[in-house]
Structure 1
Amino acid sequence: MLAPVNPSTGKKLAEVESLTAQQASIEIDKANAAFPLWRDLALEQRARYLKSVAAAMRARKEELARLMAEEMGKPWREGLGEVEKGAMCAEYYADNAAEFLAAEELASDASHSYVCYQPLGTVLGVLPWNAPVWLALRFLAPALMAGNTCIMKADPNVPGTARVLTEAFHAAGLPQDVMINLPLETPLVGDVIDHPGIKAVSFTGSSNAGKKVAARAAAGLKPAVLELGGSDPCIVLADADLDKACDVITLSRMINAGQSCIAVKRLIVEEAVYDKVCDMLYERFTALATGDPLIADSQALGPIARRDLQLGLHDQVTRTIQAGARCLTGGDLPGGEGFFYPPTLLVDVKPGMAAFTEETFGPVLAVIKAKDFDHALQLANDTEYGLGSSIWCGDPQKGEMATQKLQAGQVAVNGIVKTDPRLPSGGIGLSGYGRELGPHGIREFVNTKQIWVA
């Protein structure tokens, strides 16, 4: 059984029966059987279905937002925005897939040679709890528009959200079994990956879990895209617009109560403005509060999604303070019901401390002092992760230099690191491999076929 818990109250929600391995295998066979018809549909027809999906999602956006608030604690306003972003992703690929998948003429010794992009078959998406609608669409929209059928394995925390999202796909008139939801307990994921009908895997989650998924997929010689954790650095130089930088850094760290892979986690500040930036962040952090995510107009942070995650985050904060960092605000494990955690500002953090080396998945910001620009780059790259990174500076040349020297899958200059359907997203190192979104994302799960005609 899938047994979700409301993280705002700590109380159990309605349990959902999990499929057995045999039942999951039958569902995969159904998606395989649906593949030829979906593959052979014209792109224009698939695009019409995806646009209908977007409309069906918007029609149920309040229900989806409520379920996300109840199942994983996402604030109501953020949930509504997430549904809209997912709908936009469906529309983006509906509008652009034909261009992204167009055959490419390449000169050779043939009279005619080119590359075409054809779907692989049934693709499995193993998805997390922290953005259950957006991350589902980030997987589903390009894979479906490429002509694949899709199996969605949502996180056990969010079975209700997954069910209603699937109902929206079906309400859009999508052909039978083209998109299937598997309510499945996590230990059975390996068996699903092994199924001969699964031709590729998309996984979003922790680095440790990603290693297991990668090994299982590789054992079957199945391509995989892995979007994993991050310890994302943000550099602030002395000539930056400090007010704007602190506003955006606070927003980045607090979205979804800090439970975002691409949020700022390590803030590296040039020493000339270090104390000033710490003071400015203290003002912003102490103005924040936690509260019920179902209150529509509230600006409060929601809870951490699970008790074990809350306790793990507090352990990281405690170990960082014990190692010599100072906690300016937050850092206390709250009493009462629910799994809330206060906005926490840790300063004088140094390499080797928990908040520097580990991914902190919650509203905790580690602030590190850098001597100068080169030292800041060195500190930023002192990590096994490589998902997102950013820099705030007034010198365009330093900003451009940072984009080339920061070791990450995406870099933002004087702005927030975010995912955008138009741009590829992904990481290196412990943050994974492969790319989602943009023209690159739709080509991850296709056969790049060379054609040579004498």
Structure 2
Amino acid sequence: MMKSINPATGEEIATHEPLTPAQIDAALDRATATSATWRTTPIAERTALLIALADAYHAHRDRLARMATLEMGKTLKSALAEIDKCVAAFRHYAQAGPAMLDGGSIPLAAGGKADYVWLPIGPVLAVMPWNFPYWQVVRFLAPCILAGNVGLLKHASNVQGVAALMQEMMGVAGAPEGLFQNLPIRSDAVAAIIADDRVAAVTLTGSEGAGRAVAEQAGRALKKVVLELGGADPFIVMPSADLDAAVKQAVTARVQNSGQSCICGKRMIVHADIYDAFLDRFSAAMAAVKAGDPFDPATDMGPLSSEEQRRTVQEQIWKMQAAGATLIGGEALPGPGAYMTAGILTDVPTDPALMGEEIFGPIAMLFKAADIDDAIAIANTIPFGLGSSVWTTDEAEEARFVRDVQAGMTAVNQMLASAPEAPFGGVKRSGHGRELGPFGLHEFMNLKSVYRAG
């Protein structure tokens, strides 16, 4: 039995019975049958469905957002913004997507040419987390539909209400049965689905451990896999930066979604010349963050997703304190709900084992860098490389950061945020492959060459 528990109150919302093996088998049969027809469906019909999905999400915006707030604790205004982002992604692939599917022709030195075309590959399994429960799925689903593939969703156990609503929205939009199926299953059922010949590929957003397991299972089955595994992203601030803007965005990075975002800066690496000024402003701004009822418009930050998640963050803090770090704020709040205040860890040892801890909560790690070389060295010390944010008005410094910070994405003078138009993904242990943009669309397509004489 899977349970949805409101992290703001600790109260049980609903229980969900996992699918039986027979039900999973039937779902895979439906996916296979639908794949056979959807792959040849005209692109105009695929884009029409994407527009219908955008309309459905917009029409049910409040209801969808409330479920996310109830199940994982994000503020209602954050949940509403997440729905709006999903609507934008559906519309983007409907409008810009057909051009992404255009093939081309390459002349051959020996004569003739090779045309190339993009073709669907079949059912794709998505294993998705709870932190952005709609957006994480839509950034796989929208290109999946456009490509002519079909989707299977294994969502996190604590957001099964969200998963069920996503399934419902497919019906509202008039999607063919089997085009997208929510599979309420436990993690131990995933390996058999990946191994099944009816599944063509798998995409996962989650922990490093989950990524290793899924990559190993996909490797045994010789199937394509895309992994987004998070990280402890650097947020580098240099003396030429607009300090007030950097501080404001650093606070947002740490308290947005209660600090439970893969790509928001977690390690604030600040040049020694401005370190004290940054810390003064940053600590005051973090202390002013209001944690409370996620349905209250005045709330800045809701609870963490669960009591278990709050305990994990606390244990990470204690480990760093034992190694010599100093905590400012970051306390668990009494009473019901998995609440805690925003906090900062200073004097954290530059030990990769410590700095590589992804604190999935409203806690920042603060480091002092002697110069740009030191800042880059601190940024690259850890084994992860998802995103990064750099703050400088010096063009030479910007070029160094873009070239030398080991990350799949870098934001300049802004907090990193994903967008439907741009490729999303990391390097090193943050995973491989890309989502979004044309690159995410092509990850799960067959690039087929057609050789022609003359």
Instruction: Find the counterpart in structure 2 of residue 88 from structure 1.
Output: 88
- For structure 1, the residue ranges without an aligned partner over 5 or more in a row are none
Partner Cα distance (2:70, 2:215) in 1: 31
> Are the counterparts in 2 of residues 125 and 151 from structure 1 also a CA contact under 8 Å?
yes
Residue range with higher mean Cα deviation, 433-442 or 389-398: 389-398
- For structure 2, the residue ranges without an aligned partner over 5 or more in a row are none
Instruction: Find the counterpart in structure 1 of residue 29 from structure 2.
Output: 29
Instruction: Find the counterpart in structure 1 of residue 427 from structure 2.
Output: 428
Q: Which runs of 4+ in 1 moved over 2 A?
A: 109-112, 332-335
Deviation at 1:354, TM superposition (A): 6.2
Count of residue pairs brought into register by the alignment = 452
> Are the counterparts in 2 of residues 316 and 354 from structure 1 also a CA contact under 8 Å?
no
Deviation at 1:120, TM superposition (A): 0.3
> Are the counterparts in 2 of residues 201 and 225 from structure 1 also a CA contact under 8 Å?
yes
Deviation at 1:244, TM superposition (A): 0.3
> Are the counterparts in 2 of residues 25 and 195 from structure 1 also a CA contact under 8 Å?
no
Residue range with higher mean Cα deviation, 167-176 or 319-328: 319-328
Partner Cα distance (1:369, 1:54) in 2: 45
Instruction: Find the counterpart in structure 2 of residue 13 from structure 1.
Output: 13
Partner Cα distance (2:226, 2:2) in 1: 26
- Deviation digits for residues 263-322 of structure 1 (CA, Å, limit 9, x no counterpart): 111010111111110101011001112111122x22331111122211111011111122
Tell me the secondary structure at the aligned position of residue 84 of structure 1.
helix
> Are the counterparts in 2 of residues 21 and 191 from structure 1 also a CA contact under 8 Å?
no
Residue range with higher mean Cα deviation, 21-30 or 195-204: 21-30
- TM-score normalised by L of structure 1: 0.98
Q: Does 1:161 align with 2:130?
A: no
> Are the counterparts in 2 of residues 57 and 87 from structure 1 also a CA contact under 8 Å?
yes
> Are the counterparts in 2 of residues 267 and 368 from structure 1 also a CA contact under 8 Å?
yes
Instruction: Find the counterpart in structure 2 of residue 390 from structure 1.
Output: 389
> Are the counterparts in 1 of residues 115 and 452 from structure 2 also a CA contact under 8 Å?
no
In the alignment, residue 148 of structure 1 is paired with which amino acid?
N
Partner Cα distance (2:412, 2:354) in 1: 23
Instruction: Find the counterpart in structure 2 of residue 65 from structure 1.
Output: 65
Partner Cα distance (1:280, 1:217) in 2: 47
Give the alignment's Cα RMSD to 1 decimal: 1.1
Residue range with higher mean Cα deviation, 240-249 or 392-401: 392-401
Tell me the secondary structure at the aligned position of residue 125 of structure 2.
strand
Deviation at 1:128, TM superposition (A): 0.5
Instruction: Find the counterpart in structure 2 of residue 97 from structure 1.
Output: 97
- TM-score normalised by L of structure 2: 0.98
1:86–1:340: structure 2 CA closer, same or farther, 3 Å change rule? Answer: same
Deviation at 1:16, TM superposition (A): 1.2
Deviation at 1:20, TM superposition (A): 1.5
Tell me the secondary structure at the aligned position of residue 227 of structure 2.
strand
> Are the counterparts in 2 of residues 72 and 157 from structure 1 also a CA contact under 8 Å?
yes
Tell me the secondary structure at the aligned position of residue 318 of structure 2.
helix
> Are the counterparts in 1 of residues 389 and 414 from structure 2 also a CA contact under 8 Å?
yes
In the alignment, residue 79 of structure 2 is paired with which amino acid?
G
Partner Cα distance (1:353, 1:286) in 2: 28
Deviation at 1:355, TM superposition (A): 5.1
- Deviation digits for residues 118-169 of structure 1 (CA, Å, limit 9, x no counterpart): 0001011111000011111001000110000111111111011111111111
In the alignment, residue 384 of structure 1 is paired with which amino acid?
P
> Are the counterparts in 1 of residues 353 and 382 from structure 2 also a CA contact under 8 Å?
no
1:353–1:198: structure 2 CA closer, same or farther, 3 Å change rule? Answer: closer
Instruction: Find the counterpart in structure 2 of residue 120 from structure 1.
Output: 121
Instruction: Find the counterpart in structure 1 of residue 44 from structure 2.
Output: 44
Instruction: Find the counterpart in structure 1 of residue 225 from structure 2.
Output: 224
Partner Cα distance (1:396, 1:440) in 2: 28
